[in-house]
Amino acid sequence: MYDLILANFARHVHLNEDEQQAVINRLQPKTYQRKERVLNAGDICKAVSFVVKGCLRLYHTDDNGNDHIVNFFAESWWAADVASLYSQKSAFYAIDALEDTDVLRLGIDSLEELYSFSPKFERFFRILTQNGFVIYQRRMTSAMSRPAIDRFHNFQKLFSDLEQRIAQKYIASYLGITPEFLSTMKKEKAKR
Amino acid sequence: MYDLILANFARHVHLNEDEQQAVINRLQPKTYQRKERVLNAGDICKAVSFVVKGCLRLYHTDDNGNDHIVNFFAESWWAADVASLYSQKSAFYAIDALEDTDVLRLGIDSLEELYSFSPKFERFFRILTQNGFVIYQRRMTSAMSRPAIDRFHNFQKLFSDLEQRIAQKYIASYLGITPEFLSTMKKEKAKR
DNA sequence: CGTCTATTTGAATGTACTCAAAAGCGGTGG
DNA sequence: CCACCGCTTTTGAGTACATTCAAATAGACG
């Protein structure tokens, strides 16, 4: 049950027995049904969710009611509205489930206890934030300089199997284009 | 000379006398001429630069030779290729000066010494990274969902005076549009 | 004053969007 | 097991946003 999350910590820090127990004791397993909300925009994000199985999306709904997906969180990703989590102010983004999804939640209080328990935890989440910083910086550059078809290919590389698991309209939303245009793009591509 | 940078630290952490001295002793003042390179893409980013006066840009040059500006660093901003700085691998982005610019540099070694000296420094730079994370996440959403004219208005709000100081083509590059289109957009806007 | 670069303007083009309709697909109930 | 419902995807026509290329104009700097 906890293998996946411990392996994930191990990618950046080496936790001893006590530290592993400290995490495990604080994890709250939870299952979300497909389409169930994890976080509402405007609410305060009070936990970070490690995805064990399934897939969540982080997205913004604009004034015209159109969704714009910022990121997918499939297996071994950590999901949260980071701005809201760390400031404990209301969230700009919303989170919901694209598939039935099992997560392990760490509340903000648990998170801070872990920071006090061992600096390794602060280090681990600092590295996650740094990686996120880099991911979004690059995706922003890509959004502004690359045509949609290139961004689609990047998506395919980064999320390989996800394309088969979720509706195309979500992929279009992640790419910043309409579902119609994604459809025509794929047809064009197949023709050649 | 050090007022600005100490005020900047004070926004997130309260440094005592010793800690202030520890920073000041490690700062390397440096002046860049307009158009001078601070960091070449492909090189390793070995320092973070606090801008005291002037303006730097962080940008990527694509395969067609077009620049795409990721961010401006004017007074009181910290400039670095974060991915390269923390991994000490080659930089994806380049940095150069848009005006004659005075900076205070902190080398990666000094940075790590400061982290050991006091956890306040680690805290400070962690907060900077978190803020950057949020900025780029939002700008990515905006790049994909908002028309160029909206992004231009956001730029004007965020960087107020900068519009008067630097060439329009850099602003266009920051917005992810061509200088020609920025020009026509402004004409349209003036007409109404 | 002249040169170099930045900005403006305009025409033609391309990329992506909107709207509308048809086709496909998955689940549910009869 | 099939028929129907709701939702997703495809297709197409018309439009809008943004680019390319070229040329004219304006500004900055030595």
Closest Cβ–Cβ partner in A86, A133, A176 for B132: A133
Residue with tokens 């995706």: A139
Q: A100 exposed, middle or buried (CB, 10 Å; 0-12, 13-18, 19+)?
A: middle
Percentage above 70 pLDDT, chain B: 99
Decide if A82 and B134 are in contact by the 8 Å CB cutoff. Answer: yes
The pLDDT of residue A191: 64
Of B66, B83, B136, the CB nearest to A140: B136
pLDDT digits (tens, 9 = 90+) for A139-164: 999 998 899 999 999 999 999 889 99
> In B 122-181, which Cβ lie closer than 7 Å to strand C?
167-169, 179-180
Cβ pair A137:B83 closer than 8 A = yes
Edge to edge, the sheet with strand A78-79 lists A28-32, A101-107, A47-53, A78-79
pLDDT at B40 over 80: yes
pLDDT at A192 over 70: no
The predicted-structure confidence for B150-169, as pLDDT tens digits, reads as follows 999 999 999 989 999 999 99
Burial annotation B83-113 (CB, 10 A radius, 16+ → b, else e): bbbbeeeebbbbbbbbbebbbbbbebebbee
A1 — pLDDT class (breaks 50, 70, 90): confident
Residue B136: the pLDDT is 96
- Please list every residue in chain A whose beta carbon sits closer than 8 Å to the beta carbon of residue B137: 70, 82-83, 132, 136
Tell me the three state secondary structure of residue A164: helix
d(CA B78, C1' D14) / Å: 48
Instruction: Identify the three-state secondary structure at position A175.
Output: helix
**Residue that has been written with the tokens 């709250």 in this structure:** A28
pLDDT at residue B60 greater than cutoff 80: yes
pLDDT tens-digit readout, A31-69:
999 999 999 999 999 999 999 999 999 999 998 889 999
Please state the rounded mean pLDDT for residues B95-105.
96
At residue B75, does pLDDT exceed 70? Answer: yes
Q: What is the pLDDT of residue A63?
A: 85
What pLDDT sits at residue B192? 59
Mean pLDDT of chain B: 95
The answer to whether the Cβ–Cβ distance between B82 and A139 falls below 8 Å is: no
Alpha-carbon span A99 to A75, nearest angstrom: 12
Task: Output phi, psi for A190, to 5 deg.
Answer: -65, -35
